[in-house]
Amino acid sequence: MAASSGTNTAGRPVRLPRSARRKQLLAAAQEVFVAQGYHAAAMDDIADRAGVSKPVLYQHFPGKLELYLALLDTHGDALVGKVRAAMAATSDNKERVAGSMRAYFEFVDHESEAFRLVFESDLRNEPAVRERVDRVERLCIEAIAETIMGDTGAARDQAELLAAGLVGISVTAAQFWLAGGRRVDKDQAMEMLAALAWRGIASFPMQGEPHGEPADGIG
């Protein structure tokens, strides 16, 4: 079914504000890309799904790749925002670790199509797509690394390596959970992964505490 473009009482299309039209076109494009894959999808299909003419579609996006990149930017920014919010939501580092896991699992659970577009793209060898995916990963790592640096006094290189490990666990586990049909309860899955990650990250003491503290040294 084509996405509604809006009609007035006379049945004629309503001219949507540019931002609303862009959102509508992106939603239609996502449906087509998920259903058909990027290579099989055509601009005709996307225009039909959105209920607009091709000239209207081209007014907003000059080509299929630009549409795809815009989707990656939209969903990537949403995920980065979730991770940053998890870091800012509390000063309890155990909760921060759990929050970072939750950000990925919630994204996968509620935005599974978006997750697949960002992390399972069949265009990963396309430089512009690779750059977008790398950017999302880098910004998530930076958000976590800044917290680790502030709390432990670790050097940036060390903090980024630890943050990359946490992000890697989150992405891989969430991807596996989704592909496996969500067989493990989501809350239980998040708790398990958070506990696993916490046992490692907690061995790095807070600033001013000696190394070799118990496992809750960073909490």
pLDDT digits (tens, 9 = 90+) for 126-183: 899 999 989 999 999 999 999 888 877 888 999 899 899 999 999 999 989 998 999 9
Is it the case that residue 18 has pLDDT exceeding 60? Answer: yes
- At 14, list the tokens: 């309503």
What confidence score (pLDDT) does residue 117 get? 78
pLDDT of residue 3: 47
Phi/psi zone of residue 200: left (φ > 0), alpha (ψ -120 to 50 degrees), beta? alpha
Domain residue ranges of the chain, discontinuous segments joined by +? 18-62, 71-201
- 71-201 folds as Tetracycline Repressor; domain 2 (1.10.357)
pLDDT tens track for 23-78? 999 999 999 998 888 889 999 999 999 999 999 999 999 999 999 999 999 999 99
Query: pLDDT class for 4, splitting at 50, 70, 90?
Result: very low
pTM attached to this predicted model: 0.79
Looking at residue 218, its pLDDT comes to 39
Average pLDDT (92-102) is: 88
Determine the topology of domain 18-62 in CATH: Arc Repressor Mutant, subunit A (1.10.10)
Residue 204 has a pLDDT of: 59
pLDDT-derived band at 207, boundaries 50, 70, 90: low
Beta bridge partners of 13: 7
